[in-house]
Amino acid sequence: MALRYKTRKRLALLILIVGLPLYIMAAVSLVALFERPSILLELAIYVGLGVIWAIPLKFIFKGIGQPDPDA
């Protein structure tokens, strides 16, 4: 079942306002559990985690910046 444009737009906004800050806090907490790695490794971890959250949600964000196709 495909989501309507308006539903996807609202869901994307909810994910960015609520879900992304929670994900950032979880990523920082996860890295803080271990001994602090070198700065390059830590940067690579954060970049990797930054990309991983978006992959499963790509279908929601795809086309959100375009005008409403249903209008």
Q: What confidence tens digit (pLDDT) does each residue in 9-37 have?
A: 999 999 999 999 999 999 999 888 888 88
pLDDT at 64 over 90: no
Per-domain residue ranges of the chain = 7-61
The answer, yes or no, to whether residue 59 has pLDDT greater than 80, is: yes
CA distance 37 to 44: 10
User: 53 CB contacts (<8 Å, ≥6 apart)?
Assistant: 20, 23
What whole-number distance in Å separates Cα of residue 6 and Cα of residue 35? 44
Contact call for residues 61 and 3 (beta carbons, < 8 A):
no
